[in-house]
């Protein structure tokens, strides 16, 4: 009975490690290509899956090369653009564009109001 449980555990670990290796991103394939990891996992019943799980979990995601590759930076840009677009539309609706222009240069506002009198 204990031998059957060990065999089932080894098979389960092998299946889990093989599925994890197959579906893992490229940066987690440390030291060898995917096909070699699959061969090691399948041919070395306990050692291969355990080695895969230890090595692949410690792999670090590479830093983005350029800012446009960084998902956090792209999300920041999208949020900033959205805030600027919606903020500008809300500002024009409440105060109107005339008041914002006159607050930038008070001399123009006085000249325009003086000429209309």
Q: Which two tokens stand for residue 31?
A: 């030291």
**Which helix (DSSP H) or strand (DSSP E) does residue 115 occupy?**
helix 106-116
Q: Which of 27, 22, 12 is nearest to 57 (CA)?
A: 27
pLDDT digits (tens, 9 = 90+) for 17-40: 999 889 888 877 777 888 998 999
Q: What's phi and psi for 25, nearest 5 deg?
A: -70, 165
Query: How far is the C-alpha of 88 from the C-alpha of 15, rounded, in Å?
Result: 55
pTM of the model: 0.51
Per-residue b or e along 22-34, where b marks 16 or more CB atoms closer than 10 Å to that residue's CB: eeeeeebbeeeee
Q: Is there a contact between 101 and 108 (Cβ–Cβ < 8 Å)?
A: yes
Note the maximum CA span of the chain: 103
| Domain extent listing, the chain | 2-57, 67-112
Asked if pLDDT for residue 116 goes beyond 70, the answer is: no
| Confidence band of 103 (pLDDT split at 50, 70, 90) | very low
Query: How far is the C-alpha of 41 from the C-alpha of 68, rounded, in Å?
Result: 36
pLDDT digits (tens, 9 = 90+) for 76-100: 888 998 888 887 655 454 444 444 4
């Amino acid at each position: 009975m204990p031998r059957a449980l060990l065999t089932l555990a080894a098979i389960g670990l092998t299946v889990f490690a093989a599925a994890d290796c197959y579906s893992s991103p490229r940066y987690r394939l440390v030291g060898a290509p995917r096909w070699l990891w699959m061969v090691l996992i399948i041919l070395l019943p306990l050692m291969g899956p355990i080695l895969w799980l230890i090595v692949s979990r410690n792999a670090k995601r590479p830093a983005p090369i350029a800012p446009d590759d960084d998902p956090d930076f792209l999300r920041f840009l999208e949020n900033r653009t959205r805030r600027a677009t919606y903020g500008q539309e809300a500002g024009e609706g409440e105060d109107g564009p005339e008041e914002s222009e006159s607050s930038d240069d008070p001399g123009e506002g006085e000249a325009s109001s003086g000429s209309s009198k």
